[in-house]
Structure 1
């Protein structure tokens, strides 16, 4: 891999992945496409609309036309659209949460999934189920939706967001072999958790995705 194209639904993720790529993919040229209208529409409608699916396909095709040898789409909420778009280009396309889902299936049979948006929770849970089926491994999935946490974060009340997510992660860690964070924005909370909670692996997608691409570079 010489050139990686990253497609984001929030410009705030650009520096997050820039740091990871610099650290884990040295020598790989990267470029970013950011379009927050995609996630805004998904949140507003509560679903992955045909319009968003078409626009995701357009972004993937644009990344391929720009010379990407590999494309990474960094938003879990549009994962199904990413899988469909992959068939339209001749370069590999990865949804950011696939390596995380595979790692969760490898680590445990009872898998917890935490999210602050139902539009992210559902596709993440679906992906884990499908990756487990592909691996031939029976799993039990337990999910937690932190209702109101995303709105709190967007309104500037980070403390309330963090407290709600921490409570959900603490509950899931007590019940599960491994816990998956459906959104990268939730990873900020992990460092605030008690050591007893951290005894259970808690997975976040960005670093796992870039680490996976590093094995292919």
Structure 2
């Protein structure tokens, strides 16, 4: 029987990236979107405790819908909880985890590129802790593409992708000695395009996502035609 994967998004634009990354696998993808976080995260009374409770409640709701696992695609969500903190009856897969694995296997100085300023500190802290637990030594610096994330929030997807591609190409030209990865799912298609144009490797959360989902679900996925 085909396994079901619940995909928890903060923005509907992430759906297309997951469909592209996992659409050919024999997994049924069920999408859940809660855009309220982006509308409220700047409010002074929307505390970390409220964020944590809302995420926990939503994960439990998704888990109760008959899925075999949950993929959390938003780095804002993943920076506010650790999977082991939650009593969830199904595996929780953070979109960051496959990327963290890949980064920890590389040597030398690396750059992790963001567009969402609210996720930089939390994601970097999680990466450092992930490497520490795995006894890996990494040298990773964050780089923020300014004035990009608002384009996603206002529905200007093409302008967002064009800006990210431009900045990635500029960064590669100026820092060819550093291995480059993008931190957010919304940057994955731009990373793929830049890698294709420049011939320079650009890591992203989707590069090894399929293999990691198979492992988390203990399920060998057929690749559909």
In structure 1, distance between residues paired with 2:12 and 2:205: 17
In structure 2, distance between residues paired with 1:165 and 1:153: 17
- Residue 43 of structure 1: how far off its partner (Å): 5.7
Q: Is the 8 A contact 1:61 1:89 kept in 2?
A: yes
- Tell me which residue corresponds to 2:206: 206
Aligned residues: 211
- Tell me which residue corresponds to 1:2: 3
- Tell me which residue corresponds to 1:13: 14
- Tell me which residue corresponds to 2:223: none
Q: TM-score, normalised by structure 1?
A: 0.82
- Residue 36 of structure 1: how far off its partner (Å): 1.1
Distance 1:97 1:66, change over 3 A: same
Distance 1:152 1:209, change over 3 A: same
Give the SS at the match of 2:100.
helix
- Residue 2 of structure 1: how far off its partner (Å): 2.3
Which runs of no fewer than 5 residues in structure 2 stay unpaired? 220-225
Report matched runs for 1:171-182 at 5 Å. Answer: 171-172=174-175, 174-176=176-178, 178-182=179-183
Q: Which has the higher contact order (CA 8 A, sep 6+)?
A: 2
- Tell me which residue corresponds to 1:185: 186
**1:103-125, CA deviations, whole angstroms, 9 ceiling, x for partnerless residues?**
11112242211011221222222
Q: TM-score, normalised by structure 2?
A: 0.80
Q: Is the 8 A contact 2:63 2:70 kept in 1?
A: yes
- Tell me which residue corresponds to 1:112: 111
In structure 2, distance between residues paired with 1:68 and 1:82: 20
Report matched runs for 1:66-105 at 5 Å. Answer: 66-83=65-82, 87-105=86-104
Supply the RMSD in Å over aligned alpha carbons: 2.8
Matched, 1:139 2:135: no
**1:135-170, CA deviations, whole angstroms, 9 ceiling, x for partnerless residues?**
212221211111112234545344445423432454
- Tell me which residue corresponds to 1:164: 167
- Tell me which residue corresponds to 2:52: 53
In structure 2, distance between residues paired with 1:65 and 1:94: 16
Distance 1:169 1:115, change over 3 A: farther
Distance 1:208 1:44, change over 3 A: farther
Give the SS at the match of 1:136.
coil
- More helix as a share of residues: 1
Report matched runs for 1:17-32 at 5 Å. Answer: 17-24=18-25, 26=26, 28-32=27-31
